[in-house]
Structures are given as C-alpha cells and as structure tokens.
Amino acid sequence: MAERTNVLIAGAGPVGLTLANELTRYGIAIRIVDTAAQRTDKSKALVLWSRTLELFDQAGYVAAFLSAGMPAHGAVISNGKETIARIELDGIESRYPYALMIPQSETERILEERLERQGVRVERTVALEKFTDLGPKIEAVVRRANGVSEEIGADWLIGCDGAHSTVRHGLGLPFEGTTEPSDWYLADGHISGLEPQDHLHIIWHKDGILALFPITAGRWRVVADLGPAQGDGHHPDPTLEEVQALMAARGSKAILEDPYWLASFRINERKVSRYGQGRVFLAGDAAHIHSPAGGQGMNTGMQDAFNLAWKLDLVIGGTCKPALLDSYSIERSAVGDMVLRNAGRMTEAAVMRNPIAQGLRNAVAKFALGFPQLQHRAANTLAELDIAYPDSPLTVNGAHRPKGRRAGERWPEKLPAPKDKARFIALGPGAVVTDLASRFPRLVQAAPEGGEDLRLIRPDGYVGFAGTGSDRDGAVAYLEALVAK
C-alpha cells in the first residue's frame, strides 16, 4: 500500500522549500523530493525583493535572510564613460526599502535548515517518475538513486521542479514562448575598488550591456551579452581572461579575481497558460521562466508558493471549499504575464545595438529617471510592491469606499500573527470585526482598530474585502462564499 501524505512537493529549490516551510508551519503533512544529491552551491538567483521579505517577515522567519544578505540601495546606469541615470531604492514603500543581495546557495541553506528544524528532511536523489490524478487523490511513483521505486499517495501534488518540470510534462501543459537568439556570459568572483559597493552597476555600452551586481562584501556577479548567437549549440563557458577583457572593453576598470563560477547561457521566455489541473499545481520555473533582468524570477516563484500555501491549508483543513484553489492560477498567471512583459522590456532596452536607438534610450532614461516620481515608481515595480489582484474572484469591494487601500491591493503594514492556522485578519470597528471572528472562528481573526473602514486581509497580505463598517453584511457574504458547508 502506498504511503500517504497531504502534499507531495517535487523540487527542493527556493520555491519548493518556501512552499514546504509554509505548509509545515500550518501543520500540513508533506514530503519533498529532489533529484539533486545536495542543494546548489552556486549563487544563481541573487536578490530578495521587498515584497518577498515582507512575506517572510509575516511568516516569522525573515531574520535569517537579513543576517545572511547585504542590502543594495540603488543602481547606477552609465555608458561606460559617463553616468546616464541613478535609481535609488531607499524610497521603496516598504519596511524593507532595498534589494537584499543574497546568493541562492544561502537562500536554500536557510530554508532547508529551517525545514529540518520543523522535522522535515528533503528526500534527495529521489526522482518523481510518474503520477496519476485519481480525482480524490494522487498516486505517484518516485525512484531513488539505487533504483528502488516507491508509491506515494497524496491529496495534492505540487511541481516546483524547474524549467524541465516532470510535473508539467505529466499534465501535458504547453510551455509556450521562445529562446532568445543571443548568448550571455556570467561570472561570480571577487572585485575590489568598485564604488559604491551597495549599488548595482549597469553599463549600456555600444557593444552590449555589462552589469555588475554585489553579492556579499567584495563578491560580485558579472553579466554581459555577446550579441546574436552563432549557431544552435551551447556557447562555451568563458575563461576569466575572456570576462576580464570584455569588462575592460565596455568601460569597466574593475578587476575580477578568484571566480567561483564562470558560465554562458541563453534567455528563455516561456509560461504555461494555467498553473494547475485537478489536484496538481505548478509553481516557480515549472510555470514561468523569463529574462533575469530585474531579478524577478525567484521572487515571483516564492510568491507563488505563499499564495498557494494558505489556500491549501484552508482547503485541507476543511475550512474552505476546494473552489478556493481555483483562484491560484487566476491570480498568479496574471502576475506571471506581467513579470514576463516587464523583464522582456528591460532586456530589449539593454541589448539594443542600433546607435540611434541607443542614443534615444539613454536620453529617455536620463530624462525620465531624473523625476523623483518616476524613479520611485520604477523602484516599487522592481520591489514587486505593485502586484495586485484586481480581477481575482477573491477581490470584492463593499458598497462604501474606504480610505486608502482597495480590495486586491497589498496591505503595507505587518499584521497580527494568526494563532495557529491560516486566517483572514479583520481590520476595522471593534464590534464589527469581533462579530465576524465569532461567526467564522476558523477563518477570521479580529484586529480592532477603530474608525469606519472595514477590511478583510488575506493570509498573504492582500486586501480581500474592502468597505466600511456599514458593509458588515457584504463582508459576511464574502466569507460565507468561501467556507465549506
């Protein structure tokens, strides 16, 4: 007989580990498998943005990331000779107004160690071979490195298994998009003398982009495009000398030494049309991949995990109807589309080769980013603070408009921690929110704050319902539509 668990997670990268930690925090039984013998030792994804840090803060374990990472407070864009524009991040509207630079190897270490402290170990060198959605449950077969297979019965299967996802292939979902016809160099090593060290340095040279990102004190990531690809094969990984020569040719006086990692790559831009089917869901690179411009990929995947985790908790615990999970794909697919567009536009702007187009790009950037309002907006977009769910089935505005945040928008303040499982936080007049919590004790936690405005804040920090105290009946109807009868 197959061993049973609530949730089987395929893939133990940052997204799978985030989902595993959140579900375990809610008391959900999980198993998490990965084909790799150990977590990555490469820097890979480098940044945790403000919105992701807020979510880890709300979950109660942001401190480990903050102590392991290095805040970056802005970016300098030049042409290799003179500064074109600066983007300062200190004005980001968050309690974390910066980009936290942290190598993916550290991010995975923090998440895996926390998961182990909760009593769950990643099952390594274990591959998901196949699965069947039987309606009431999933039957999966995993195979260990020694060739031994095991059947696992699960209520839900989540594919966090990357761009070549076995789960996505098993669902037969097309991964639509393109591979960009250009080659890129990547180097991770030590650089001295590059100032300011808490800023990203981006050079829009006439021959292509050169970008330098701080990782930790004295350690930097170098990325550069090489122009149109020559043939379909993989471009050879660069030598240290090749990277150094390219840096010098594009106007950087920095010296790269002691490289940890030298690689070449191409950019893929692909996405599924829906993030789930039946009892199976996709998250992270299994659902969407795109240009690394803006450092959005890992953050978007982690936010997939936060979105899905609280909904699974409320459904598995019998608090909410299974239909709650339908909102996952609706919400996160729309975010994936937005991130894909934004990253693609940033890449197109960076790699243009036409001298006239380059001159226009530089002039527009210098002019636009000279306005504090536009610079502020750009920083908030990078920090993923403008993500919202206006078209979600979970987004409802009451008959009376409240001041400030509307339904679907991010709630900027830290909320009271739920007592045990996932809860909506009811903010507003004391009598109203106390009544809502007493009517829906498994779904709502009251946080009286006086005034007339009434809001129901979802467990992932977005406003679900927004109105005033006069909209009590509307809030009741909203919650009744969610709860399992």
Label residues 41-51 b or e (16+ Cβ within 10 Å = b).
Answer: eebbbbbbbbb
Which pLDDT score, from 0 to 100, does residue 227 have? 87
Confidence (pTM): 0.96
Q: How many CB atoms lie within 10 A of CB 416?
A: 13
Class for the domain spanning 181-266: alpha beta
Distance CA 51, CA 57 (A): 10
Local confidence pLDDT in tens for the 485 residues of the chain: 578 999 999 999 999 999 999 999 999 999 999 999 999 999 999 999 999 999 999 999 999 999 999 999 999 999 989 999 999 999 999 999 999 999 999 999 999 999 999 999 999 999 999 999 999 999 999 999 999 999 999 999 999 999 999 999 999 999 999 888 889 999 999 998 899 999 999 999 999 999 999 999 899 999 999 988 877 777 899 999 999 999 999 999 999 999 999 999 999 999 999 999 999 999 999 999 998 888 899 999 999 999 999 999 999 999 999 999 999 999 999 999 999 999 988 888 888 889 999 999 999 999 988 888 888 899 999 999 999 999 999 999 999 999 999 999 999 999 988 767 999 999 999 999 999 999 999 999 999 987 899 999 999 999 999 999 999 999 999 999 999 98
Distance CA 147, CA 126 (A): 10
Q: Are the C-beta atoms of 285 and 11 separated by less than 8 Å?
A: no
Which tokens in the block code for residue 116? 């182990």
Per-residue pLDDT reduced to its tens digit, 232-275: 777 899 999 999 999 999 999 999 999 999 999 999 999 999 99
Which pLDDT score, from 0 to 100, does residue 1 have? 56
Which tokens in the block code for residue 42? 């490469």
Class for the domain spanning 396-480: alpha beta
Which pLDDT score, from 0 to 100, does residue 164 have? 96
- Report the SS3 class of residue 410: strand
Which of 353, 462, 478 minimizes the C-alpha distance to 408? 462
Label residues 368-387 b or e (16+ Cβ within 10 Å = b).
Answer: ebeeeeebbebbbebbbbeb
Q: How is domain 3-46+103-178+269-348 classified at the architecture level of CATH?
A: 3-Layer(bba) Sandwich (3.50)
Per-residue pLDDT reduced to its tens digit, 121-170: 999 999 999 999 999 999 999 999 999 999 999 999 999 999 999 999 99
Which pLDDT score, from 0 to 100, does residue 450 have? 78
- What residue spans define the domains of the chain? 3-46+103-178+269-348, 181-266, 396-480
